[in-house]
Amino acid sequence: DSGVTQTPKHLITATGQRVTLRCSPRSGDLSVYWYQQSLDQGLQFLIQYYNGEERAKGNILERFSAQQFPDLHSELNLSSLELGDSALYFCASSFTSSDTQYFGPGTRLTVL
Amino acid sequence: DQQVKQNSPSLSVQEGRISILNCDYTNSMFDYFLWYKKYPAEGPTFLISISSIKDKNEDGRFTVFLNKSAKHLSLHIVPSQPGDSAVYFCAASAEGMRFGAGTRLTVKP
């Protein structure tokens, strides 16, 4: 158990819909990261927040957005969903940007 | 952004033999390197790391080697066990972390 929690575990929705994925970091960690893993692909970095502020952006689509709240939990919002958005979405946390990242169990999103 | 590359998508070894997973990087500013292990339907878990000031770090059956001049990192697992079968991700950090695409290791009994 990494200490990072993600909800929901599974999500099935239709094209065009909007969903919100939630992540609670390990106690004491200030940085939260979001990754996407499509079928047989590596981890694609989406976005990082540090203590409530956006720190780095990766390959995140404009239809996707995220935020980190004062209690340090984070949400990833995916809108106008397409079939190709079906993937595993992982959240990770670390104390600073250079520290080891600890991953949550992931949310499996299926867009039908 | 291919700053961290794992050129072998898969590797198969016999139980008891050595597994060697390789990783190359391009950014000379990376100063901390990590290996993560991922089982299906689970999040990646941290395995072992090495700072750029070292060239070797050992933890039980796992050893990571760093060759800074070649910008090359490798993970040695010896002896390999069937439970080591997983996808292994190499990662490098310098004001942010970058991951390789992963190598699927299969250890055959």
What is the per-residue pLDDT across B65-99, written as a single tens digit (0 to 9) for each? 999 999 999 999 999 999 999 999 999 987 677 88
B2 and A CB contact within 8 Å: no
Confidence band (pLDDT; 50, 70, 90) for A2? Answer: confident
Q: Which residues contact A1 (CB under 8 A, 6 or more apart)?
A: none
In 3D space, the residue among A58, A51, A60, A55 whose CA is nearest the CA of residue A95 turns out to be A51
Instruction: Please give the residue of chain B at the shortest CA–CA distance from A1.
Output: B45
Q: What is the pLDDT of residues A56-96, one digit of tens each?
A: 888 899 999 999 999 999 999 999 999 999 999 999 999 98
A-B CB pairs within 8 A amount to 56
Please name which of A1, A7, A2 lies closest in space to residue A76, comparing C-alpha atoms.
A7
Q: What pLDDT shows up at residue B1?
A: 59
Nearest to A42 among B49, B93, B100 (CB): B100
A20 vs B29, which has greater pLDDT?
A20
From the list B42, B96, B100, the residue facing A105 with the nearest CB is B42
Decide if A97 and B95 are in contact by the 8 Å CB cutoff: yes
Contacts with A100 from chain B: Cβ below 8 Å = 34, 46, 49
Least confident of A18-27, A102-111, B45-54, B92-101: B92-101
Confirm if B108 and B91 have CB atoms less than 8 A apart: no
pLDDT tens digits, one per residue of A11-63: 999 999 999 999 999 999 999 999 998 876 778 889 999 999 999 888 899 99
